[in-house]
Amino acid sequence: MAQRVRTTPRKRPRQDRSKATVDAILAATAQVLVKDGYDRTSTNRVAERAGVSVGSVYQYFPNKEALVGELVDRYSREILDLLLGELATLASHPPEIVAPRLVATMVRIKQQDPLLARVLREQIPRVGRMQRYEKQLGEIVAAVAAYLDGHRARLRHDDVEVAAFIAVHTVDAATHAGVCAGELDADTLTRHVTDLALAYLLRDPEAAQRRVKV
């Protein structure tokens, strides 16, 4: 039986200096991954780019799979924390306010580095992160469903959980595709994806848009 490749760090940094080293290693990993692609990425290339010894890399990460896996974890955690934070802040607002803010947040995160966003999404299954990524999306779906539950009278669909699932996954896929294609500016992408989400969720999104300025 083939030995399973480890895709998690050996240990977590505890001191500020070691945290800075790990941050530099991961930043270098992102640069090498975007420039050279996954197959040509190696711990030696990452160490050289980060300006550290390869031993320093191995102190925390056993291989490139663990490096890329940690990048995916950090990236998806950033999206999760920002979206849940936005939703908590906007909990008392109507969907016409909440939807564009959440969509704009997803677009903004992905536009920070579109090439990295694309590469990391491609490597999610390869570094054993699909289950974790789906779990984090599930947390967003649950939060959106809880929010939508307070607006049942305005929804087109009786099953709030299903509506939240479809809306979240559609927005995630559409913003990712729009950003990675590089052909749409942030405002255009946000507006169109927001219209898509509201048209799916609400009974009369056009009338609602006229009542609420977004």
Q: Which residue has the higher pLDDT, 191 or 125?
A: 191
What residues form DSSP beta bridges with 155? 202
- What six digits make up the tokens of 188? 């255009």
Q: What domains appear along the chain, each with residue ranges and CATH number?
A: 16-65 (1.10.10.60), 71-211 (1.10.357.10)
Please determine, for residue 55, whether its predicted confidence score (pLDDT) is greater than 70: yes
- What six digits make up the tokens of 83? 């979206």
Q: Which of 131, 133, 159 is nearest to 145 (CA)?
A: 159
Please determine, for residue 213, whether its predicted confidence score (pLDDT) is greater than 50: no
* SS3 assignment, position 213: coil
Angle at CA 61, nearest 5°, toward 56 and 62? 110
Q: Which residue has the higher pLDDT, 2 or 144?
A: 144
Per-residue model confidence as pLDDT tens digits over 94-114: 999 999 999 999 999 888 888
Q: For residues 102 and 171, is the Cβ–Cβ distance under 8 A?
A: yes
Does the pTM surpass 0.85? The reply is no
Angle at CA 48, nearest 5°, toward 45 and 51? 150
Please determine, for residue 89, whether its predicted confidence score (pLDDT) is greater than 50: yes
Confidence of residue 73 (pLDDT cuts 50, 70, 90): confident
- CA gap 53, 43 in Å, rounded: 10
